[in-house]
Amino acid sequence: MSARRPGHPAPSAALLLAALALAASGCFAFPFRASDDPQRPTVTDFEIRGTNAIDAGELKSHLATQASSRRYVVFREEQYLDPDAFANDKQRIVRYYQAHGYYAARVVSSELVPDGEGRVKVRVGVEEGPPTRVSLVDVTGLEGAPEAAQRLGQLPIKVGDVFTDAAYDQGRADLLAALGATGYAKAEVTQRAEVDPSRSEARVHYAVTPGPRYRFGSIFVAGAAAIPRSRIREEAERVITPGTFYDATELPKAQAGIVDLGVFGGVRVTPSIDEAKQTVTPVVQVREAPFRTIRAGPSLDLTLTRIDAAMVAGWQHRNWLGGLRRLSLDARAGWAFLPAESKNGFAGLFSADLLQPSVIRKLLDFNIHGELQWGLEPLYNYRAERLRIGFPLRVGRIFTFIPSVNWEIYHLSGTPSLAPPGSNSQVLLFQTCPSRDPNLCVLSYFEQRFAFDLRDDPINTTTGVYLTLALQEGVSVRGNGSAYVRYLPEARAFASLPGSVVAAARARVGVVNPLSAPIVPVVATFTSGGPNMRGYYTQRLSPMLQDTPGHFIPVGGYGLLDGSFELRFPIYGAIGGAAFMDFGNVQAVASDALKIQNLQWAAGVGLRYKTPFGPIRVDVARRLGNGTVQVVDRSNGVIGATTEPRFAFGFSIGEF
pLDDT of residue 319: 92
Taking residues 25-33, report their average pLDDT.
54
Q: Is the pLDDT of residue 304 over 90?
A: no
6 Cβ contact list (under 8 Å, min separation 6):
340, 550, 551
More confident residue, 613 or 195: 195
Nearest 5°: the CA angle 217, 218, 221 is 130
pLDDT of residue 437: 62
Give the model's confidence band at 113: pLDDT under 50 very low, under 70 low, under 90 confident, else very high: very high
Per-residue pLDDT at 519 exceeds 90:
no
Q: Summarize the confidence of residues 614-619 as an average pLDDT.
A: 79
Q: What is the bridge-based pairing of β-strands 501-514 and 559-572?
A: antiparallel
Q: Are strands 292-303 and 307-317 parallel, antiparallel or unpaired?
A: antiparallel
Between 164 and 500, whose confidence is greater?
164
- Average pLDDT, stretch 353-372? 89
Highest mean pLDDT among 119-128, 304-313, 496-505, 602-611: 119-128
pLDDT given for residue 465 in this prediction: 95
For β-strands 551-554 and 559-572, DSSP reports them as: unpaired
- The overall average pLDDT reported for the chain is 85
Q: Does 544 score more than 80 pLDDT?
A: yes
Among candidates 397, 392, 398, which has minimal Cα distance to 356? 392
- DSSP structure string for 155-200: -S--TTSBP-HHHHHHHHHHHHHHHHTTT-TT-EEEEEEEEETTTT
Tell me whether residue 379 is exposed, middle or buried, using C-beta atoms within 10 angstroms of its C-beta: 0 to 12, 13 to 18, 19 or more.
Answer: buried
Q: Is the pLDDT of residue 25 over 80?
A: no
Query: Any bridge partners for residue 397, and if so which?
Result: none
Q: Decide if 388 contacts 351 (C-beta within 8 A).
A: no
Helix (H) or strand (E) holding 15, with range, is: helix 11-24
Ordered DSSP codes for 320-369: TTSTT-EEEEEEEEEEEEEGGGTEEEEEEEEEEEEEEEEEETTTEEEEEE
CA distance linking residue 446 with residue 451, whole number of Å? 17
| Amino acid present at 633 | D
Residue 94 confidence (pLDDT):
96
Output the pLDDT for position 30.
54
Write the DSSP symbol of residue 59.
Answer: H
pLDDT digits (tens, 9 = 90+) for 157-212: 999 999 999 999 999 999 999 999 999 999 999 999 999 999 999 999 999 999 99
- Among the ranges given (29-33, 75-79, 327-331, 422-426), the one the predictor scored with the smallest mean pLDDT: 422-426
Cα separation, 72 vs 570, in Å, equals 10
Which helix H or strand E contains 135, and what residues bound it?
A: strand 133-140
Cβ distance 438 to 451 under 8 Å? Answer: no
Mean pLDDT for the stretch of residues 615-629: 83
Give per-residue pLDDT as tens, 413-468.
765 444 444 333 333 444 445 555 656 777 889 999 999 999 887 777 889 999 99
3-state secondary structure of 60: helix
How far does CA 637 lie from the centroid of its chain? 38
- The mean pLDDT of 547-571, rounded to a whole number, is 86
Element (H, E) at 99: helix 83-99
Residue 119 has pLDDT above 80, yes or no: yes
Alpha-carbon distance of 641 to 185, in angstroms, equals: 69
